[in-house]
Structure 1
Amino acid sequence: MIQITDTPVKATLHDYEGDTTKRWFIDYYIGKVRYREWIPSKPLNTRAERAAALLQGIKDGLLVGRQADIYKRLDSIIENLDLRKRTKDTYRTSARLLAKHFEGRKLSTITEKEANDFVDALKLKYADTTVKNNISHLKAILKHTESKAFTNLRSTYNIQESDFNYPFADYEREILEEHLKSKYPTLFIFTRFIYYGFIRPAELRKIKVSDIDLKTRSIKISGSIAKTKISAVVPIIDPLLKIIINEGLTRHPGGKYLFGKGLKPSFEMSSPNEATNLHNKACKEIEIYRERKTVLYSWKHTGNIQAFLAGMNIRLIQMVNRHKSIQTTEIYLRKLGVFLDKKVFDINY
């Protein structure tokens, strides 16, 4: 942070005597101008500590809040959001794009027209998907600020939703499975947990051996690693059970990551992109690689189609995917090209 005044700023913390049900904020003055800084409620266990640190910083005359440059302002917000580290890093990338475009400006001075101009500038440099993602990230951050310039921006720009829901074609699945079995066996097992267990890759690298319970034939997904932040269990269906037993995965110490460094049981977690990079390499080796389509997530989409065609009912598909509502599952399957009512095939005209 950058010092802007040698005179301590008068600031008052309003924390309602520690009442966590209320919105905490700090009132402070620079000259005769009054400012207000809200204290994000999450994570709750650090709220008092964060409030005290911000209060002291303001009293020391540091560049904070509305007086800060754009990146410092957004970075302080991102740091206090209840998000995974990887998500925070992604948000910071979007914040840097905004800060670079409006270099030397304060967030509060940006107009709605300038915000739209910023989006147009992004569209000249990046693909539609990248633009969409950056705007979504920025809107998630900026809702915690006083800025309204980005409120009405659309977060989609000619994006084909199916780009995010590509299953493997049958021939792709078959040759990729054979290639992984022979050359990258640990990655093959990794993909089986996605294909048969519908577990997201980011969650899978954090699962530990102790999360597998063969007695109940279930895998625990802790809320601390789940995308939804909700703890749940997924069933171990027969083909996945055979892999777990044949590979002896549960014979390792429970504290090891199931897919640690090297994508094998280890006390050291694998890097965030280890499985992704290896999967992309494998797809390129057999010449089926398609950017954003032949991805690890494609195994989850492919598994859902296979499960539905094999007779798994939509309620069970909802449960194993951990969707909050049956409507979410219906939309998800339709985007995968699955016709929920098979009577459609009997129509003849």
Structure 2
Amino acid sequence: MSKKNLPLRRRNSDSEIIGYRLPVFHGTGKKVYVDFYAYDPMRGELRRKKIHLDHISTKVAQRRHAHVLISTLTEKLLSGWNPWCDAATSRGFTPIETIIEKYKEYIGRTGRKKTQQCYNSRCNILEEYNSTRLQPIRYAYQYDKAFVIDFLDWVLLDRDSGARTRNNYKGWCSAFGEFMVQRKYIDSNPAEGIPKLPEDSKFRQPLTEQMMRKLHRHLKQEDPHFLLAVMMEYFTFIRPTELSNLRLRDIEIKEQRVFISKEFSKNKRDGYVGLNETIIRTMIDLDTFRSPGDWYLFGKGFVPNPEKAGPDQFNKRWVRMRKKLGWGKEYQFYSLKDTGIRDLANSEGIVIARDQARHTDVSTTNRYLGVEKSVHAETKSFKGAFEENQNL
């Protein structure tokens, strides 16, 4: 099929990816003009621009002028010119992917090898986060303070990082922001003014037994669908980004387990976690399984939906509930995972908690339990090969 005969919808789609449609001369109708399309970032779509040639007296002169005009416009469009962005704002509409590539190239030429590897990794993590957003940012001007804060929260909560790692990313966001400011992509550095987290101790705290009971009573009455999300976090330890990607078909009732695909898991491996019978009863009470299997478990409003909701809905809803219950900021949605690991380890043992949390090592699980670094008393007096007066 030739491009001329492609369906209009397909041609429009191809043009939107490119960002423009090349100019065309229209000289057979009552109006004589050249028109072309360019992406208008304010409208979020291709926008048509017409240049009339009726003021030119003869047909020959109109065609000659149109030929020169088409050649000039084509060259400008191919070079990145956009008629809907003035010189002062056009750099703000530079695609964020383009800026990241330029930043990687800049670091590759100016930084040490270790710095290059570290910063390239953080660029990749930023792009991974952006891909998880319901509406990923596309242009430089969208790299603002709200985006940076959400990214740092994602690093801390969804990637299960510590305060120090989160603060290191904050420093990198500032360096990346300064790179953009110096090149006039944005006017100010959005990472400025974002405070560091204290690193001497874990800021996020688990919930007490009394708090868990209060939470359960409150949500059972006020928001039973969010209560299901809370239970999933507490019993299964599934990260918010993973929860937002779960579909009903991933819930295996007979085996009492949940499948987590490598497509969205943090460790990039397929895995299963146990499904507590309390969750199953709650799902039945909420008629969760009446929806089709390919629907997302936690769509908008925490109910099954064919459209995916962003992972930020868990934290946003938690913050509203936390304020209502009068709890401090150290109690976060991810505190449910801390609490669940603690309670499961105390009840069934740390190895079972480790496997349910999909940790590769018990030392990672211990971080959730707040286990202090200590030495075993037995190491101080056991009989070894260097005991005095030992017959060798």
Superposition TM-score, scaled by structure 1 size: 0.56
Instruction: Name the structure, 1 or 2, with higher relative contact order (CA <8 Å, separation 6+).
Output: 1
Structure 1 residues 97, 213: CA separation in 2 closer, same or farther (over 3 Å shift)? same
> Is 1:195 paired with 2:234?
yes
Instruction: Report the alpha carbon displacement of residue 333 of structure 1 after superposing the two structures with TM.
Output: 2.0
Partner Cα separation in structure 2 for residue 315 and residue 77 of structure 1: 32
| 5+ long unaligned stretches in structure 1 | 1-52, 106-117, 130-157, 342-349
Match of 2:274 in 1: 235
Partner Cα separation in structure 2 for residue 217 and residue 67 of structure 1: 49
Match of 2:199 in 1: 159
> Is 1:128 paired with 2:164?
no
Q: Which amino acid aligns with 2:298?
A: F
Q: Residue 208 of structure 1 contacts residue 254 of structure 1 at CA under 8 Å; is this kept in 2?
A: yes
Describe how 1:63-78 pairs up with structure 2 within 5 A: 65-66=105-106, 78=123
Structure 1 residues 100, 218: CA separation in 2 closer, same or farther (over 3 Å shift)? closer
Q: Which amino acid aligns with 1:180?
A: L
> Is 1:308 paired with 2:345?
yes
Structure 1 residues 285, 210: CA separation in 2 closer, same or farther (over 3 Å shift)? same
> Is 1:175 paired with 2:211?
no
Partner Cα separation in structure 2 for residue 160 and residue 241 of structure 1: 40
> Is 1:295 paired with 2:332?
yes
Instruction: Report the alpha carbon displacement of residue 320 of structure 1 after superposing the two structures with TM.
Output: 0.4
Instruction: Report the alpha carbon displacement of residue 95 of structure 1 after superposing the two structures with TM.
Output: 5.5
Q: Which amino acid aligns with 1:307?
A: L
- SS state at 2:128 partner: coil
Q: Residue 305 of structure 1 contacts residue 338 of structure 1 at CA under 8 Å; is this kept in 2?
A: no
Partner Cα separation in structure 2 for residue 271 and residue 81 of structure 1: 16
Pick aligned residue for 2:182 from 98, 104, 123: 104
Describe how 1:3-152 pairs up with structure 2 within 5 A: 65-66=105-106, 78=123, 83-84=128-129, 85-86=131-132, 90=151, 97-101=174-178, 103-104=181-182, 125-129=193-197
Instruction: Report the alpha carbon displacement of residue 256 of structure 1 after superposing the two structures with TM.
Output: 0.3
1:23-75 deviations in Å (ceiling 9; x for gaps): xxxxxxxxxxxxxxxxxxxxxxxxxxxxxx99xxx9xxx998239999xx979
Instruction: Report the alpha carbon displacement of residue 168 of structure 1 after superposing the two structures with TM.
Output: 0.9
> Is 1:216 paired with 2:294?
no
Structure 1 residues 63, 285: CA separation in 2 closer, same or farther (over 3 Å shift)? closer
Partner Cα separation in structure 1 for residue 334 and residue 313 of structure 2: 14
Q: Residue 192 of structure 1 contacts residue 240 of structure 1 at CA under 8 Å; is this kept in 2?
A: yes
State which drifts further: 168-177 or 211-220.
Answer: 168-177
- SS state at 1:163 partner: coil
Instruction: Report the alpha carbon displacement of residue 236 of structure 1 after superposing the two structures with TM.
Output: 1.2
Structure 1 residues 332, 221: CA separation in 2 closer, same or farther (over 3 Å shift)? same
1:297-340 deviations in Å (ceiling 9; x for gaps): 1111111222223x2122111110000112322343235x899x
- SS state at 2:259 partner: strand
Structure 1 residues 167, 260: CA separation in 2 closer, same or farther (over 3 Å shift)? same
Pick aligned residue for 1:225 from 226, 249, 264: 264
How many residue pairs match? The answer is 232
Structure 1 residues 230, 245: CA separation in 2 closer, same or farther (over 3 Å shift)? same
Partner Cα separation in structure 1 for residue 216 and residue 366 of structure 2: 28
Partner Cα separation in structure 1 for residue 307 and residue 295 of structure 2: 8
Identity %: 23
> Is 1:326 paired with 2:371?
no
Partner Cα separation in structure 2 for residue 86 and residue 161 of structure 1: 29
Structure 1 residues 69, 185: CA separation in 2 closer, same or farther (over 3 Å shift)? farther
- SS state at 2:370 partner: helix
Q: Residue 240 of structure 2 contacts residue 311 of structure 2 at CA under 8 Å; is this kept in 1?
A: no
- SS state at 2:268 partner: coil
Instruction: Report the alpha carbon displacement of residue 213 of structure 1 after superposing the two structures with TM.
Output: 0.7
Partner Cα separation in structure 2 for residue 252 and residue 236 of structure 1: 19
- SS state at 1:128 partner: coil
| 5+ long unaligned stretches in structure 2 | 1-96, 111-115, 137-146, 153-168, 184-188, 377-392
Report the aligned-residue RMSD.
Answer: 4.1
Q: Residue 258 of structure 1 contacts residue 266 of structure 1 at CA under 8 Å; is this kept in 2?
A: yes
Structure 1 residues 161, 250: CA separation in 2 closer, same or farther (over 3 Å shift)? farther
